[in-house]
Amino acid sequence: VLLLGELFANNSYKIAFTMIKWYEYCKSNQRDHEVSEIYGCSQLSILNDYNVVPLDSIM
């Protein structure tokens, strides 16, 4: 979760939301001798994508 927030419209309607940043698993690259795991834990790479999701939909 990158951000939690609330929007208010006309002091009567409130929208709670979260902004989610996405990651993906790194794949090992045989040519560069990169490993996909260190100490048994998978490595992640951050993506340039995020989503805004209503908080009520994930609670």
The structure tokens listed for 22 are 């996405």
- CA distance linking residue 36 with residue 44, whole number of Å: 9
Question: Are the CB atoms for 44 and 24 separated by under 8 Å?
Answer: yes
- CA distance linking residue 43 with residue 21, whole number of Å: 16
| Residues in Cβ contact with 16 at an 8 Å cutoff, skipping those fewer than 6 apart | 4, 5, 6, 54, 55, 56
| Cα angle for residues 59, 3, 8 (degrees, 5° grid) | 75
The answer, yes or no, to whether residue 45 has pLDDT greater than 80, is yes
pLDDT digits (tens, 9 = 90+) for 1-43: 778 888 888 877 888 888 888 888 877 665 555 666 777 777 8
Q: What is this structure's pTM?
A: 0.53
pLDDT value at residue 5: 86
